[in-house]
Every structure is written in structure tokens, then in C-alpha cells.
Amino acid sequence: MACEMTIQRQERHPGKRFRRWREGYIQGTENRGPEGGRAMTQMMNMPRVQTCTVTDCGYNHDGCTAFAITIGDMNAECDTFIGAGLSGGMGVATAQVGACKRADCKYNNNLECQAPAITVGASADRADCLTYEK
Ligand code: SF4
Ligand code: SF4
């Protein structure tokens, strides 16, 4: 339990060791030992951002290239959206849902998304989780 909480914390506030593992994950050389294995298992359980149609977001390069996104509690808005001409991301469209504050969604369990995958697009805001369901 304590380990899981640590991993969840590391995903939201990645420390040096987690950042090293994450770089390996992207390069395919991740630590497959007990610590890397646990982190990888946890990552594989995180829902993918299957589609994002918000093309003016700085993370959108033929899909969401953020490592993980956060969904907010107002309109299930993508809190990770970045405009103002900024550009970022990991270079690959493999974003996952790191956390979701929309507690009343049927897929939300302990502020974590349990949907198989999500879609993001314009709705009440420029970028909302369209998979949200009450
Ligand atoms: S709006 Fe959100 S899901 Fe879409 S590309 Fe930007 S950060 Fe990713
Ligand atoms: S489907 Fe629901 S729980 Fe998952 S990210 Fe969207 S609003 Fe949050």
C-alpha cells in the first residue's frame, strides 16, 4: 500500500529516480528490476489518452505527447492544456491520465481514472475529457 502511494506520488511529482526510469521507458531501456517493474506495471494500468482533437495545445503533435495529463474538477477540463504558443511533450503520442479530480465521473475511483482510455476535445472548455460520464 505504502509502495503504491509512493509510485502514485512519483507520477505526479517525478523524482530523480523516477525521471531516470521514465527516460529508459521512452528509450526502451527501463529498469526491469523490482522497482522499475512496479512502476511499469502501474504505468500500464493508467488509461491512455486515445484521441485529443485540441490542435492548438502545445502538447498536441498528432496526438497528446505529454507524459501524463491531469483532468480537472470543473468541466472535466484538461488541466495540462498549454496554449500561448508554447510547445512541449515527449515526442510520442502516448499520453496517459495521471490523475483526475472529476470525482463524480462513473470511471473515477479515488481520483484516479479507471476508463480503458479517454478522448479529449472541445466542449464546455477548449479541452475537456469527452469520456466523462456521470
Ligand atoms: S489538451 Fe490535454 S490531452 Fe490534448 S494535447 Fe493538450 S495536454 Fe494533451
Ligand atoms: S473518464 Fe472520468 S475519471 Fe476518466 S479522466 Fe475522464 S472525467 Fe476523469
Helix (H) or strand (E) holding 51: strand 48-52
Q: Which residues line ligand 2 (CB under 6 A)?
A: 71, 76, 97, 100, 102, 105, 107-108, 113, 115, 118, 129, 131-132
53 shares a domain with 39: no
60 shares a domain with 118: yes
63 shares a domain with 32: no
Residue 119 pairs in a beta bridge with: 51
Note the pLDDT of residue 45.
81
Which ligand is nearest to the Cα of residue 89, counting in written order?
Answer: 1
73 shares a domain with 38: no
Residue 99 pairs in a beta bridge with: 70
Please report, in tens digits, the pLDDT of each residue of the chain (134 residues total): 444 444 444 444 445 555 555 565 555 555 555 555 555 555 668 999 999 999 999 999 999 999 999 999 999 999 999 998 999 999 999 999 999 999 999 999 999 999 999 999 999 999 999 999 99
- Provide the grid cell at 120: 479529449
Note the pLDDT of residue 30.
52
57 shares a domain with 38: no
